[in-house]
């Protein structure tokens, strides 16, 4: 039985700049855009691609920690701000740590499938450059089980969590080749970001990216097994996209050539109060990806594009194995062979990923969907992939916490 009982389409995607250190125009001492500005830019960027915003039936706003970073709650209340025609229309706020954006997409798709809405705007936003990094690290620790893990955890909590994963991975599969693959992942992320004007690392001018990626970790100042180049940065930004039924596309005046079809998704949760069963694996990501493949009726060999949650370079390597692109323990060889490059066997994170594009947490999952939409409809600019007709699908993985809340979603260009 087909998982989706009717088609669900995605269209009208828009990303703001991922703003933070690394951008030439970023000044930590100067006034910067807030939640309102980013929501307005992303929302209006999507509205500009449709005929009439009054045809939007409802909205979903995904965000992780606005209550702490911005002293603001009540996510749904920002939806009507985007356009007067949205006043009094339903909206929902969702939170699932770094997987918040992915959750927003699934909620939008479910509303279309339920028949309660033909057109749903999913918008993700995060503004994190409001506090020093060490305080932000404490806020972000809420993506894990704060009561059992934070007190004894590292000052830079999540970098240390993934440093531990890297250490175990080194022990099991070899430090030298794994370390080199992580440096190559960083190199690839920045090279892709340099082609993307909205990427946080677009202005990165480091001449020898691989050498930077190979910088020895400093466990006294940071973490034992990773360096700062292995990490995604603190980012501000927003992304938005519309999910619609076939009737919804007609209402919006959008042709199918400007849309992609949602073929299936997997949403999986693991117990946040328990540690990962194996630090060298993303078990929840694997479950979600396999569920997405099953529901879409495809295999990993039919993917022509991949967006994984590379909050850290080691996350990129482990993700490649979790989605089945590389066998367990072989992702380093996969990356070193150039298979994740834009012109490689499976182009991955083509606009920079979380490390290159940036990681405005609540927006990242939506941004991934927007980038897949642009790729599959031939609108990715300098980041455009040349698709093999035998591999017409794109997969995105939005991961919350330490592989706890995971959404994997498969797309194909609409027929």
Same domain, 171 and 74: no
* CA-closest candidate to residue 369, choices 55, 36, 122: 122
Res 1 pLDDT > 60: no
**Domain tally for the chain?**
2
On whether both 270 and 390 belong to a single domain, the answer is: yes
Find the mean pLDDT for residues 207-221.
96
% of residues, the chain, pLDDT over 90: 93
pLDDT band at 17 (very low <50, low <70, confident <90, very high): very high
Read off the pLDDT band of 102 (50, 70, 90). very high
- The CATH number of whichever domain residue 79 belongs to comes to 3.40.47.10
Same domain, 219 and 121: no
Q: Are 38 and 128 in contact (CB under 8 A)?
A: no
Q: Could you read off the pLDDT of 220-254 as tens digits, one per residue?
A: 999 999 999 999 999 999 999 999 999 999 999 99
What is the per-residue pLDDT for 85? 98
Q: What are phi and psi of 263, to 5 degrees?
A: -90, -25
The answer as to whether 63 is a domain residue is yes
Residues 311 and 339 placed together within one structural domain of the fold: yes
Report pLDDT for 248: 98
Structural domain that includes position 305: 143-231+264-410
Q: What is the pTM of this model?
A: 0.97
Percentage of the chain with pLDDT > 70?
A: 99
Tens-digit pLDDT profile for residues 293-341: 999 999 999 999 999 999 999 999 999 999 999 999 999 999 999 999 9
Cα–Cα distance measured from residue 313 to residue 232, given in angstroms and rounded to the nearest whole number: 8
Q: Which of 76, 35, 67, 97 shows the shortest CA–CA distance to 359? A: 97
pLDDT at 294: 97
In a domain, 44, yes or no: yes
Are 123 and 43 within 8 A, CB to CB? yes
């Amino acid at each position: 039985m087909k998982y989706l009982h009717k088609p669900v389409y995605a269209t009208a995607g828009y990303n703001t700049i991922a703003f933070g250190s690394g951008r030439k125009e970023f000044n930590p001492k100067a006034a910067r855009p807030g939640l309102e500005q980013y929501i307005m830019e992303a929302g209006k960027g999507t509205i500009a691609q449709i005929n009439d915003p009054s045809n939007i039936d409802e909205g979903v706003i995904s965000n992780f920690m606005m209550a702490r970073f911005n002293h603001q709650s009540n996510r749904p209340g920002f939806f009507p701000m985007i356009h007067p025609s949205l006043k009094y229309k339903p909206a929902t706020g969702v939170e699932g740590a770094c997987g918040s954006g992915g959750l927003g997409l699934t909620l939008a798709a479910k509303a279309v499938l339920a028949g309660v809405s033909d057109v749903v705007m999913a918008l993700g936003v995060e503004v994190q450059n409001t506090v020093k990094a060490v305080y932000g690290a404490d806020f972000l620790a809420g993506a894990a089980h704060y009561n059992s893990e934070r007190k004894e955890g590292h000052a830079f909590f999540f970098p240390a969590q993934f440093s531990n994963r890297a250490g175990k991975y080194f022990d099991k599969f070899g430090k030298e080749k794994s370390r080199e693959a992580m440096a190559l992942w960083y190199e690839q992320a920045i090279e892709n970001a340099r082609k993307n004007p909205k990427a946080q690392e677009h202005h990165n001018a480091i001449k020898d990216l691989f050498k930077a990626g190979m910088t020895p970790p400093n466990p006294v100042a940071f973490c034992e097994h990773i360096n700062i180049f292995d990490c995604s940065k603190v980012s501000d930004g927003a992304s938005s996209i519309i999910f619609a039924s076939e009737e919804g596309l007609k209402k919006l005046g959008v042709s199918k050539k400007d849309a992609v079809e949602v073929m299936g998704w997997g949403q999986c949760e693991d117990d946040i109060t328990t540690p990962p069963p194996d630090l060298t694996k993303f078990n929840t990501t694997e479950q979600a990806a396999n569920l997405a493949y099953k529901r879409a009726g495809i295999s990993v060999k039919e993917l022509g594009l991949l967006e994984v949650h590379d909050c850290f370079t080691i996350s990129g390597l482990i993700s490649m194995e979790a989605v089945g692109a590389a066998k367990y323990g072989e992702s380093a060889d996969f990356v070193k062979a150039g298979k994740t490059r834009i012109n490689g066997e499976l182009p991955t994170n083509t606009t920079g990923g979380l490390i290159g594009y940036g990681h405005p947490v609540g927006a990242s999952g939506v941004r991934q969907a927007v980038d897949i939409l642009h790729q599959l409809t031939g609108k990715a600019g300098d980041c455009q992939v040349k698709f093999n007709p035998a591999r017409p699908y794109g997969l995105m993985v939005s991961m919350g916490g330490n592989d706890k809340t995971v959404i994997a979603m498969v797309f194909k260009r609409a027929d």
